[in-house]
Structures are given as C-alpha cells and as structure tokens.
Amino acid sequence: MRILLVEDDERVAGGVSAALNAAGFVVDRSGDGEDAWFRGETEHYAAAILDLGLPGLDGLSVLRKWRAAGQRLPVLILTARGDWSERVEGIDAGADDYLPKPFRMEELIARLRALIRRAAGQATALLVNGRMTLDTRRMAVSLDGVPVHLSPQEYRLVSYLMQHAGRVVSQLELTEQLYAQDFERDSNAVEVLVGRVRRKLGTDLIETRRGFGYLIEPDQS
C-alpha cells in the first residue's frame, strides 16, 4: 500500500521511510506543505503521515485544506509538539491519530495499520477469505493453515485486494499502490504479478474483470 510521508527532517524521514518499506509499504516522501497538499489532492494514498512543523504551508493547514476539499484519506500526525491543546487542535482539524516524537517505529507502524484497517471497515489484523488467511502484522499468508511464501510485491497485491474485497480495483490503482513513483514498470507488470499469485494461491482467488480491473470477492462463510 502507498503511504504519503510528509516530514521535512531528512533524518526522521529516512528512518520512517526505511521502516515502512520493511513493513511492506510503498512510500512517497514530501518535505514541504505545498507539495504535500498537492500530492494528497492528486494522488491516491492508503494513508498519510503528516508532520506539523513544515516549511511553506504548515501541517495543520495542509490537513484543513484536504478535509475542506473532501479528502478522506486517514492521517496520522507525527510531530515534536507535545502540548495537549495542539493535539486536540490537530484531531479537530481532521487527524485520525496523533503520535508525538520521539516514538518507536513499532508503534508508528501498528497505528498506521490500525488506521488503514478502520478505513476499510476491518476490526482485526487477520483477514480470512475461504482457505486463505492474511496476517497484516506478520505480513504472512497461509493456505489451509500452511504458510505460503510470497515476494514483497505479491504480498502487497494480495493485501491491497483483500483490504478492498468486494470492489473492482483498476490496474492503474494497483500500479500506484504497488510501485514507487520513480520505479520503471512494464505496462503488463500487474498482470504478470497476478499470474504469479494465482500459481501460489489458486486461480479462483483473484477475479479478472476485463476492461475494469481485479477483484477478490468478500468471504461468505
């Protein structure tokens, strides 16, 4: 899943970005408010991590502009400001969660995953569909209880479709969520990836809707 990380401190941004990549996320980084506002308005992200103390346009202003425009992406505020009134102001402006610096990467990732789950209407880190179980905390997939090895890209594909079960996801949206902006990919990269996943998890898990995209039907059991 694709995350927008808005942080002007290069050291913090580099550390968070590396941790998110290791946790299976694709990360786009932005270091100033105007750029972050534009990206949030024009790109599709699963969530945003937003620092308040940004050059140009501050984080609260970015958040307010997103919400005023109807942008509903989950937003986690990440800031050195620790005053409770500023935390309240951020949540009132439309933030979904708040994590003060310094912080543990494990907590940041856990909070981010929880935000994404809630946005998708899911209450647990375990997603079950028929014979398959996906554990978003461990980034693991099993079939009939037997672990199945997936590459990072294969896992991201299955995870994104599972978290949007019941909705046809276009090839363009999957490309945006699975690959970094500067990654050069073939036009049939998603199709090849779906083929690899089907060979590992079965041909009936991911449906192809020609001209529209790909779908995992919700579990009916």
Same domain for 170 and 203, yes or no, is yes
Q: Is 103 within a domain?
A: yes
Cα–Cα distance measured from residue 22 to residue 106, given in angstroms and rounded to the nearest whole number: 11
Domain boundary among 120, 145, 177: 120
What confidence tens digit (pLDDT) does each residue in 111-160 have? 999 998 888 777 677 888 888 999 988 889 999 999 999 998 999 999 99
pLDDT tier for residue 221 given thresholds of 50, 70 and 90: low
Q: What is the mean pLDDT of the chain?
A: 88
Same domain for 113 and 8, yes or no, is yes
- Which CATH number characterizes residue 26's domain? 3.40.50.2300
Of 82-86, 135-139, 156-160, 214-218, least confident by mean pLDDT is: 82-86
Record the pTM.
0.76
Q: Is 220 within a domain?
A: no
Task: Give me the mean pLDDT over the 147-175 stretch.
Answer: 91
Percent of the chain having pLDDT more than 70?
A: 93
Res 217 pLDDT > 80? yes
What confidence tens digit (pLDDT) does each residue in 38-81 have? 999 998 899 999 998 888 899 999 999 999 999 889 999 987 76
Percent of the chain having pLDDT more than 90?
A: 53
Question: Hey, how many other C-beta atoms are within 10 angstroms of the C-beta on 26?
Answer: 21
Sheet holding 132-135, edge to edge: 126-129, 132-135, 140-143, 146-148
Same domain for 56 and 158, yes or no, is no
State whether residue 205 is helix, strand or coil: coil
Q: What are the structure tokens assigned to 157, written together?
A: 């594909």
Q: Is 221 within a domain?
A: no
Look at residues 191, 192, 157, 194 and name the one whose alpha carbon lies nearest to residue 177. Answer: 157
Question: Interior CA angle at 113 toward 110 and 116, to 5°?
Answer: 150
Same domain for 89 and 159, yes or no, is no
Same domain for 156 and 97, yes or no, is no
Query: What burial class does residue 111 get, using C-beta atoms within 10 Å of its C-beta: 0-12 exposed, 13-18 middle, 19+ buried?
Result: buried
Strand partners, 32: none
pLDDT tier for residue 182 given thresholds of 50, 70 and 90: low
Residue 8: give the domain boundaries: 2-120
Quote the DSSP letter at residue 218.
Answer: P
Same domain for 114 and 140, yes or no, is no
Strand partners, 98: 77
Task: Give me the mean pLDDT over the 1-7 stretch.
Answer: 93
Residue 7 in contact with residue 93, Cβ under 8 Å? no
Same domain for 16 and 50, yes or no, is yes
State whether residue 36 is helix, strand or coil: helix
Amino acid found at 199:
R
Same domain for 102 and 22, yes or no, is yes
Same domain for 83 and 139, yes or no, is no
Domain boundary among 120, 149, 164: 120
- The DSSP code sequence of 96-113 is SEEEESS--HHHHHHHHH
Q: Specify the number of domains making up the chain.
A: 2
Same domain for 197 and 130, yes or no, is yes
- Which CATH number characterizes residue 134's domain? 1.10.10.10
Domain boundary among 120, 146, 177: 120
Cα–Cα distance measured from residue 50 to residue 61, given in angstroms and rounded to the nearest whole number: 11
Look at residues 62, 1, 61 and name the one whose alpha carbon lies nearest to residue 30. Answer: 62
